[in-house]
Structure 1
Amino acid sequence: MESLANLESFVRSAELGGFSAAARRLGLTPAAVSRNVAALEANLKLRLFHRSTRSLTLTEAGERFLISMRDHLEGLQGAIAEISNEHAEPGGVLKVSLPPGLGTGYILPMLPDFMKRYPQVQPEWMFENRQVDLIGEGYDAAIGGGFELASGVMARPLAPAHLVAVASPAYMQGRVPPVDPAGLAGLDGIVMKSINTGRIPLRQMRNAAGEEQPVDLTPRIVVNDPAAMRGAALLGLGVTLLSKPDALAYLDSGELIRLVPSWYVDIGPISIYYANRTLLPLKTRVFVDFVVEAFQRQRLAERFAGSIG
């Protein structure tokens, strides 16, 4: 009977394209993963991988074995995880990637209740404006928007991701508020250049009636961070497009005002991302459920909707 460790090392190495990536996913060393795969090949009397200094590719026999093995392995691991989790206490390091604004403003305040409920879990939270490689970098979960769903990654929507046009009362003093998105072009724009493309994204605004208009802010200030856009708007330097979560506290306090309030930009949902549900550790499962419940209890989906002026 082949060991589960050998089989899992083979499947993850094949899926991730290397022993090092598989090792990060499994919490092993690359040498240990390599030994497990070599032992599997010896037991099967088959070469499963073509190895070189730069690449690891499946042989024809390896491809057939992967197709036959993948679903059975996940089913076996799921059965083991389910029976093990029945009486287990969630524990261990919980590595999560979060965008700084949403993370510190809304997710971090959930942490005291989460730690009180699950004291054996040790949060390791990274606040960063980037899309992480959830599996390759060893994250248990990530929260954000616009992630490309890689193989083995699932997404659970939490709230809409809507951008709204805002400016400070001081900036708008003496200016006529625009009546539609086209009117925003006559104001000083605070815009963000994409880290990935080096370009300023083109945005399309819509309203509750389903009408759409392009929004063409005239760039007066260019930054690469949402917090900097908000800071410049608070200083009275112009108008900008902020996500509703980033703007909400300042709209409530009156430090910012919303322009063309019936219009918003829809950039897709805010979601929580995690590895395939069958292989989900208990610490990750309870975290996902906790965040989903907190969003529902606090009505964050409604509060983050730019369609609600």
Structure 2
Amino acid sequence: MDALNLFDAFIVSAQAGSFSAAARRLGLTPAAVSKNVARLEAQLGVRLFHRSTRRLTLTDRGEQFLHEAGEPYAQLQAAFSRAAEDDGQPAGVLKVSMGVAFGREYLVPLLDEFLRRYPAIVPDWQFDNRPVDLVGGGFDAAIGGGIALNQGVVLRELAPAHVIVVASPAYMATRSMPMHPADLAQLEGIARRSGATGRQYAWTLRNGAGEQVAADYRARLIFDDPDAMAHAAMLGHGIALLPMAHAVRWLARGDLIRLLPGWYAELGSICLYYPNRRLLPPKTRVFVDFIVEAFREKGLAARFDGR
């Protein structure tokens, strides 16, 4: 098992790009990971990494070793996962990242059915509105958007991520309804700042006829969370450009109304990300299938479509 620990340290460090990120995945200290890699290099008699204060990169021999050993390592991991199954059922801790409000609204309600089917799986769900490093953070999967498709990461598109213009009925009661995106300039609004970049979003609305118009309005508030924006809009603080996933509940209740029907902005897609392995651990494989099935059965792709 000692050799496997050394091998783990090398493979995960190569995937994550640093000893620190590998340490988080392996539950070790960076010093321990670095020591294990050094011991493996000593046993092999080759240098696997170029080390600097800023970067960790593979040597030519390291690249060759990773290429030759990567697939057997994935098969070995899958074998360990199968051996750890509980009476033939998928088992183990399932680490998944998802947005705070999105996870609470759409994924937490799925837990009863998921746990009924797979009682030996322990969901370790982390709620964060910022894109995560799937491989470096040791996640089995992530749901959301904007995650970099680095080597070893694949995605399944679940639904469109369309943004629409909304406001409270009370806010619009004393104002003229906009007929065109240019009319938004007469209204106040809650702007959104990216939690990842710190930049304020600038939206371009489009319609079915192919027109594209910038959504310009007077920013009265600036938030970095779409769920908080929805609540501020319901309190009458102005219009908000919200992803459909954050708006549909309040639209159905009548707490928000949609402005400019037929106009929407593109925010990419809501995706399910997971490691690109030919042999996924059973716990990850059944989770991916379960989420895809749940989105299809609940018609979420159609509900989130702003067109």
Same-fold call, TM cutoff 0.5: yes
- Give the secondary structure class of the aligned counterpart of 2:144: strand
1:61 shift after superposition: 2.8
The aligned counterpart of 1:132 is 132
Distance in 2 (CA, whole Å) between partners of 1:178 and 1:274 is: 42
Q: 1:259 to 1:34 in 2, by over 3 A?
A: same
- Per-residue CA deviation, residues 15-41 of structure 1 (Å, 9 max, x unaligned), is 323334334334556566445534533
Name the residue aligned to 1:233. 233
**1:78–1:278: 8 Å Cα contact kept in structure 2?**
no
2:48/2:61 contact within 8 Å kept: yes
Give the SS at the match of 1:62: helix
Shift of 1:6: 4.0
Extract unaligned runs of 5+ from structure 1.
none
Aligned-partner Cα distance in 1 for 2:138–2:88: 22
Tell me: CA distance 1:55–1:228, structure 2 relative to 1, closer, same or farther (3 Å).
closer
CA distance in structure 1 between the partners assigned to 2:41 and 2:155 by the alignment = 35
Structure 1 distance, partners of 2:151, 2:262, is: 38
Cα 1:192–1:49 change in 2 (3 A) is closer
1:214, CA displacement in angstroms?
1.3
CA contact (8 A) 1:154 1:277 kept: no
CA contact (8 A) 1:77 1:278 kept: no
- Following superposition, the deviation at residue 125 of structure 1 comes to 1.5
Confirm or deny: 8 A CA contact 2:78 2:281 kept in the other structure. Answer: no
Alignment of structure 1 residues 139-158 onto 2, 5 Å:
139-158=139-158
**Partner of 2:66 in structure 1?**
66
Kept after mapping to 1: 8 A contact 2:144/2:270: yes
Shift of 1:279: 5.1
Tell me the TM-score normalized by structure 2. Answer: 0.88
Tell me: CA distance 1:204–1:50, structure 2 relative to 1, closer, same or farther (3 Å).
closer
With the length of structure 1 as denominator, give the TM-score of the two structures.
0.88
Partners of 1:213 and 1:219 lie apart in 2 by 17
Q: Structure 2: which 5+ residue stretches go unaligned?
A: none
1:258 aligns with 2:255: no
Deviations 1:133-168 (A, max 9, x none): 112222221111222222211111110001110111
> Compared with structure 1, are the counterparts of its residues 262 and 30 closer, same or farther at alpha carbon in structure 2 (3 Å cutoff)?
same
- Residue 203 of structure 1: CA displacement? 0.7
- The CA distance in 2 between the partners of 1:83 and 1:97, in whole Å, is 23
1:19 aligns with 2:34: no
Matched to 1:285, the amino acid is R
CA contact (8 A) 2:17 2:136 kept: no
Alpha-carbon distance between aligned partners in 2 of 1:263 and 1:292, rounded to the nearest angstrom: 28
Give the superposition deviation at 1:55: 5.5
* Identical counterparts, % of pairs: 52
1:289 matched residue in structure 2: 289
Please report the RMSD computed on the Cα atoms of aligned residues, expressed in angstroms.
2.6
2:47 corresponds in structure 1 to 47
* Within-5 A mapping of 1:1-309: 5-27=5-27, 30=30, 33-34=33-34, 36-51=36-51, 56-71=56-71, 73-74=73-74, 76-77=75-76, 80=79, 88-278=88-278, 280-307=280-307
CA contact (8 A) 2:181 2:205 kept: yes
Distance 1:194 1:19 in 2: 28
Q: Retained in 1: the 8 A contact 2:89–2:120?
A: yes
Judging changes above 3 Å, is the alpha-carbon distance between structure 1 residues 20 and 199 closer, same or farther for their aligned structure 2 residues? closer
User: In the TM superposition, what is the alpha-carbon distance from 1:66 to its structure 2 partner?
Assistant: 3.0
Q: 1:146 & 1:19 partners in 2: Cα distance?
A: 24
Moved more, 279-288 or 253-262: 279-288
- For residues 68 and 263 of structure 1, do their structure 2 counterparts lie closer, same or farther at Cα, with a shift above 3 Å needed? same
Q: By how many angstroms is 1:114 displaced?
A: 0.4
The residue type paired with residue 94 of structure 2 is L
Opposite residue 177 of structure 1, the aligned amino acid is M
Question: Aligned pair count?
Answer: 305
